[in-house]
A and B are shown apart, each in its own frame.
Chain A
Amino acid sequence: MLMLEVRDLNLYYGGFQALIDITLHVERDQIVSILGSNGAGKSTLLKAISGLLKPSSGTIHYNGGRIDHLDPHEIVRLGLALVPEGRKIFSSLTVLENLLIGSYVPEARRTKDEQLENVFELFPRLRERKGQLGSTLSGGEQQMLAIGRALMSQPHLIVFDEISLGLSPVIVQHLYQAVNRIKEKGMVVVLVEQDVKRSLKTADFAYILQEGKISLKGNPRDFTDEEVKKAYFGL
Chain B
Amino acid sequence: MFTFLEPLINGLLLGGLYAAIGIGLSMVFGIMRQVNLAHGELMILASYFSLIFVQLLGLPPLLTFLFVLPATFILGYLIQIFLFNRVLEKGMESYLMISFGLSIILQNAMLLIFTPDARTLKTGLVIKSLNVFDLFHVPVIYLVDCAAGFLVLGLIHLMMKKTYLGWAIRAASDNLTAARLMGINPKRVYALAMGMAVITAAISGVLVGMTFTFYPHSGTQYLIIAFGVVIIGGLGSLPGTFLGGLILGVSQLVGGRIIGPGFQLLSGYIILLIVLTIRPQGLLGRK
Contact = CB atoms under 8 A, between A and B. Distances in A.
A107 B168 CA distance: 16
Contacts of B180: 51-52, 71-73
Given A73-B185, A100-B167, 4 more contacts: A51-B180, A52-B177, A90-B174, A104-B164
A76 interface: yes
Interface of B: 164, 167-168, 170-171, 173-175, 177-185
A38 interface: no
Contacts of A71: 180, 185
A73 B178 contact: no
Contacts of B170: 90, 92-93, 97
A82 interface: yes
Q: Binding site of B, secondary structure by majority: helix, strand, loop or mixed? A: helix
Interface in A38-56: 50-52
Contacts of A104: 164, 167-168, 182-184
A76 B181 contact: yes
Given A101-B168, A101-B171, A109-B164, A89 B183 contact: no
Closest 6 CB pairs of A and B: A88-B178, A105-B183, A72-B180, A90-B174, A76-B183, A101-B167
Interface residues of A, number: 26
A128 to B, nearest CB: 21
A91 interface: yes
Interface in A50-70: 50-52
A102 B174 contact: no
Contacts of B171: 90, 93, 101
Contacts of B182: 73, 76, 101-102, 104-105, 149, 153
A5 to B, nearest CB: 21
A77 interface: yes
Nearest to A105: B183
Interface in A67-117: 71-73, 76-77, 81-82, 84, 88-93, 97, 100-102, 104-105, 109
Contacts of A88: 175, 177-178, 181
Contacts of A100: 164, 167
Interface string A145-163: 0000100010000000000
B181 A50 contact: yes
8 contacts: A76-B181, A90-B170, A90-B171, A91-B174, A92-B173, A92-B174, A101-B167, A101-B182
A89 B177 CA distance: 10
A109 B171 CA distance: 17
Contact of B181 (A82, A93, A109): A82
A105 B179 CA distance: 11
B181 A84 contact: yes
A88 B43 CA distance: 37
- Of B175, B178, B185, the most chain A CB neighbours within 10 A belong to B178
A89 B181 contact: no
A157 to B, nearest CB: 13
Contacts of B178: 84, 88-90
Contacts of A101: 164, 167-168, 171, 179, 182, 184
A209 B170 CA distance: 36
A90 B174 CA distance: 6
Contacts of B184: 73, 101, 104
A81 B170 CA distance: 20
B185 A90 contact: no
A73 B180 CA distance: 5
Nearest to B180: A72
A179 B116 CA distance: 68
A71 to B, nearest CB: 7
A100 to B, nearest CB: 6
Given A92-B170, A93-B167, A153 B183 contact: yes
A21 B264 CA distance: 69
A153 B183 CA distance: 9
Contacts of B167: 93, 97, 100-101, 104
Nearest to B287: A92
Contacts of A50: 181
